[in-house]
Amino acid sequence: MLNPLQHARAALHSVPRTHAKIDSCTAPLRLRLLPPSHPPNIFTVIRQFLPGFLAACFPLLALAAPQPNILLIYADDQGSIDANCFGATDLVTPTIDQLAKRGVRFTQMLAPAPVCSPSRAGLLTGRIPMRVGAPGNISSSRGGKGLAPHLYLLPELLRDAGYRTHHIGKWHLGYTEETMPNGQGFDSSFGHMGGCIDNYSHFFYWNGPNRHDLWRNGKEVWHDGEGFGGLMVEEAKRIIAQKDKRPFFIYWAINWPHYPLQGFDKWREHYKELPSPRNKYAAFVSSMDELVGEVVAHIEAAGKTKDTVIIFQSDHGHSVEERTFGGGGSAGPYRGHKFSFFEGGLRVPSVVSWPGTLPQGEVRDQFVTGCDWFPTLAKWAQARVPDTLFLDGKDIDAVIRSAQAPSPHEQFFWTQDYSRNKNARWAVRKGDWKLLHHPQDNITPWKEGKAPKYFLVNLKRDQGERTNLAGKEAAKLAELQGLAEAYQKRILPDFEAARK
Ligand SMILES: [Ca+2]
């Protein structure tokens, strides 16, 4: 049940578009501007607008509203359209589709980076990964330096706002005591510290000596032979069921469908007619969907559906590495893949739901980024972002509530580490224009035999990023080069400070 203040907030944001939107104490004046074809009944108006009007005029009242629980699910290497609701036609993804039906789905959610560690760094700091010293993957070996402990992370922000904070799954943001999850704002942590594990032995096999990587609160734990998927679900259920007055924040960095592709047998059987490697990848996506479904069902059974924000989002596009048999995932109409700054590397499936408070079954096409969750969740959690903390992410609450709200981003910047490498790949976006430096596409051969230095595209006219306009649009090329240089200059001192 919604309390009166939640009703007030819901009313504030459910005003039909034909009416003037109440967003300040000027509301009574603006109400007179209602279209004459729909004369408002004064009692209807009072009933509909008064709670929202009060909440808008007396924010302190609104602050007394309960803080929602937050379940932030960050999937791993899931392709841009790899759920039914995002356009896949050969997958079974009832949970993700259901979350989209009861929430808002984004068609233009752009990851902070097209690779694991920096994408997570952008999510948890609200800042461009290079700015926080994490422009590339962080070591999967013990002792690997990660995000600097002095940075202010989302779990710290939420803990300071009264939340209990829990990490489950992959970390990949530091493998020293002070940079593991318990050192970075999480009250509890269960999962692996490197980039991936075998889901039954919990060993990392992808370089160096094969090594066990499963940890609970900074201590190594062994669950030989037990499926990591089930272990993560049990952990989430246990946390949700805890008797604790504080709201929970669960960062569930589910390490699926990242390789090794270890879908459940029933899904392997289901997809046996699909060609390889799509069949193996699809089985893993549906297995992941099933795990997420178990946790969502647990939240429902606990009666916490209306008190819980659930975000489901991939960290970046699908992998085309040998370890995934060169593919399996799909970027649909977009070009590129994991590691690439083309849209197929950056544009990710993303849904947010908070039934009773946010719109349901709606779609947003505005340009938003993974860095935006930090300030947006801060708002919903009534957490205070320090005045001195500069964020690249923007509050997208208005976008989530309205298809008409403009994107808060006019521009954005994605980059590898350029501090010592002038050939570092980067991409800069302004409006519909995007410029890529040393673009990467491991699948489509380049017409000229090799990649151009610059690739300029207008995403509105060419969403598949097929035609390079760098030679034709000299002024736009120069403008975006200048913008990228400005980003680089501004970010470098922050990068150096974060690396100290
Ligand atoms: Ca990943």
Whether 406 is in a domain gets the answer no
Q: Give the pLDDT confidence score for residue 456 in this predicted structure.
A: 98
- Give the Å distance between the CA of 349 and the centre of ligand 1: 13
Do 136 and 200 belong to one domain? yes
Strand pairing of 69-75 and 308-314? parallel
How far apart (Å, rounded) are the C-alpha atoms in residues 485 and 205? Answer: 39
Instruction: Find the 193 Cα to ligand 1 centroid distance in Å.
Output: 13
Query: From the CA of 315, how far away is ligand 1's center (Å)?
Result: 5
The alpha carbon of 76 and the centre of ligand 1 are apart by a number of angstroms equal to 4
Residues 157 and 283 in one domain: yes
Angle at 386 between CA 381 and CA 391, to 5 degrees: 85
Query: 3-class SS at 352?
Result: strand
Q: Determine the distance separating the centroid of ligand 1 and the alpha carbon of 169, expressed in angstroms.
A: 12
Residues written for the chain: 500
Both 426 and 369 in one domain: the answer is no
CA of 259 to the centre of ligand 1 (A): 9
* CATH number reported for the structural domain that contains residue 94 in this entry: 3.40.720.10
Contact 16, 45 (CB under 8 A): no
Considering the domain architecture, whether residues 383 and 425 belong to the same structural domain is answered as no
Assess whether 298 and 421 both reside in one domain.
no
Same domain assignment for residues 249 and 341: yes
The angle that helices 228-241 and 278-301 make with each other, rounded to 10 degrees, is 20
Spatial separation of the C-alpha atoms in residues 406 and 159, rounded to whole Å: 31
236 CA from centroid of ligand 1 (Å): 21
- Residue 295 structure tokens: 């946790």
8, pLDDT greater than 80: no
Tens-digit pLDDT profile for residues 266-300: 999 999 999 999 999 999 999 999 999 999 999 99
CA of 31 to the centre of ligand 1 (A): 48
Judged by average pLDDT, the poorest of 50-64, 101-115, 196-210, 393-407 is 50-64
User: Looking at 401, 429, 458, which one is the last position of a domain?
Assistant: 401
Residue 169 in any domain: the answer is yes
- The CA 116 to ligand 1 mean position distance, Å, reads 4
287 domain residue, yes or no: yes
477 CA → ligand 1 middle, Å? 31
Statement to judge: residues 332 and 458 lie in one domain? no
Q: Which three-class secondary structure state does DSSP give residue 287?
A: helix
Share of the chain above pLDDT 70, in %: 87
Per residue in 98-157, pLDDT (tens digit) is 999 999 999 999 999 999 999 999 999 999 999 999 999 999 999 988 999 999 999 999
**Domains: count for the chain:** 3
Q: How far is the CA of 468 from the centre of ligand 1 (A)?
A: 28
* pLDDT value for 144: 87
Ligand 1 mean position, distance from CA 4 (Å): 41
Geometric angle at alpha carbon 214, from 209 and 218, rounded to 5°: 110
Tokens matching residue 10: 């819901």
Please state, in angstroms and rounded to a whole number, the distance separating the CA atoms of residues 244 and 242.
6
Q: How confident is the model at residue 36 (pLDDT cuts 50, 70, 90)?
A: very low
How does DSSP assign 424-440, residue by residue?
A: --EEEEETTEEEEES--
Domain hosting 463: range is: 411-499
**438 and 380 assigned to the same domain:** no
Ligand 1 geometric centre to CA of 30 (Å): 48
Q: Outline where DSSP puts E strands in 20-146.
A: 69-75, 103-106, 109-110
Distance 471 CA to ligand 1 centre (A): 34
Strand partners, 456: 435
Based on the fold, state whether residues 47 and 97 are members of the same structural domain. no
With respect to residue 240, please indicate whether it lies within any of the assigned structural domains. Answer: yes
Nearest-CA neighbor of 181 among 167, 195, 170?
167
Q: State in Å: Cα 75 to ligand 1 middle.
A: 8
**d(CA 77, ligand 1 centre) in Å:** 4
Distances (CA, A) of 144 to 82, 149, 180, 192: 32, 13, 10, 13
Mean pLDDT across the stretch 172-177?
97
Q: Compute the distance from residue 134 Cα to the ligand 1 centre, in Å.
A: 14
> Is the residue at 487 inside a domain?
yes
For 42, 121, 198, 265, the CA distances from 326, given in Å and listed in that order, are: 63, 26, 19, 22
CA of 115 to the centre of ligand 1 (A): 6
| pLDDT band, residue 500 (cuts 50/70/90) | confident
CA 444 – ligand 1 centroid, Å: 21
For residue 317, report the distance from its CA to the centre of ligand 1, in Å: 8
Distance (Å) from CA 281 to ligand 1 centroid: 14
Asked if pLDDT for residue 38 goes beyond 50, the answer is no
List, for residues 307-348, the tens digit of each pLDDT value: 999 999 999 999 999 999 999 999 999 999 999 999 999 999
CATH number of the structural domain spanning residue 440? 3.30.1120.10
How far away, in angstroms, is 13 Cα from ligand 1 center? 35
CA distance 168 to 254: 7
CA atoms of 2 and 354, how far apart (whole Å):
12
Secondary structure (3-state) at 500 = coil
CA of 443 to the centre of ligand 1 (A): 18
Same domain, 44 and 185: no
User: Is the domain of 302 the same as that of 325?
Assistant: yes
Does any domain span residue 57? yes
Peptide bond connecting 355 to the previous residue in cis, omega within 30 degrees of 0: no
| Domain endpoint, select from 344, 366, 401 | 401
Contacts of 208 (CB under 8 A, 6+ apart): 141
Q: Is 170 helix (H, G, I), strand (E, B) or coil?
A: strand
Q: Which residues pair with 106 in a beta bridge?
A: 350, 364
- Give domain status of residue 123, yes or no: yes
Mind listing the pLDDT tens digit for each residue in 225-250? Answer: 999 999 999 999 999 999 999 999 99
Chain centroid to CA 316: how far?
9
85 in a domain, yes or no?
yes
CA–centroid distance, 111 to ligand 1, in Å, is: 11
What separation in Å is there between the alpha carbon of 316 and the centre of ligand 1? 6
Amino acid at site 340: S
Q: How far is the CA of 38 from the centre of ligand 1 (A)?
A: 51
Same domain, 46 and 189: no
Measured in Å, residue 291 CA sits from the centre of ligand 1 at 18
* Cα 253 to averaged position of ligand 1 atoms, centre (Å): 10
Instruction: Mark which of 401, 422, 441 sits at the end of a domain.
Output: 401
Q: How confident is the model at residue 53 (pLDDT cuts 50, 70, 90)?
A: low
Distance CA 195, CA 264 (A): 21
Q: Do the Cβ atoms of 203 and 197 come closer than 8 Å?
A: yes
